[in-house]
Structure 1
Amino acid sequence: MIIPWKELDAETLNNVIEAFVLREGTDYGEQERSLEQKVADVIRQLKSSDVVLVWSELHETLNIMPRGQFRAGDEEREQF
């Protein structure tokens, strides 16, 4: 289920994004970027609808994923 990011409290949204960018294995390329830069990048992607906040009822987790990846997952579930 997509969670509308605009409906989240600013501090909550920031905490969710920080947790996402601090996950081990998140790769930002050769050039190191600050936490603030990474958070700003995700906010920009949310604003442009390139990524969405997704709540998984099955796993009870909140994730940030590309909009196209979420739609592909929906289509696969609908086939079964």
Structure 2
Amino acid sequence: MIIPIDALEAETLYSLVESFVLREGTDYGEQEVELSTKVNQVIERLKSGEAVLVYSELHESVDIKRKEEIQTEEDAQ
């Protein structure tokens, strides 16, 4: 189930995104990127519709996925 980001308090959204970014692992690029910068980048993708918050009833968890991933999963069903 997709969760609209405007249904969440700003602090809750930030915490969910921060948790997602921390799960994604270490940054091995040429330059280190601050955690807050990464979080803000993901929030911008959520606001633009490139990414969506997805609640899994099976796992009772929230994840962030690219919009294309969701459409591909829906097409496969």
Count of residue correspondences: 77
* Cα shift at 1:71: 1.2
Which one is further off, 7-16 or 18-27? 18-27
Aligned to 1:55: 55
Aligned to 2:44: 44
| Distance of aligned partners of 1:57 and 1:45 in 2 relative to their CA distance in 1, 3 Å threshold | same
TM-score normalized with structure 2 length: 0.89
Please provide the CA RMSD for this pair. Answer: 1.6
Are 1:12 and 2:40 counterparts? no
Aligned to 2:2: 2
Return 5+ residue gaps in structure 2 as ranges. Answer: none
- Report the secondary structure of 2:31's partner residue: coil
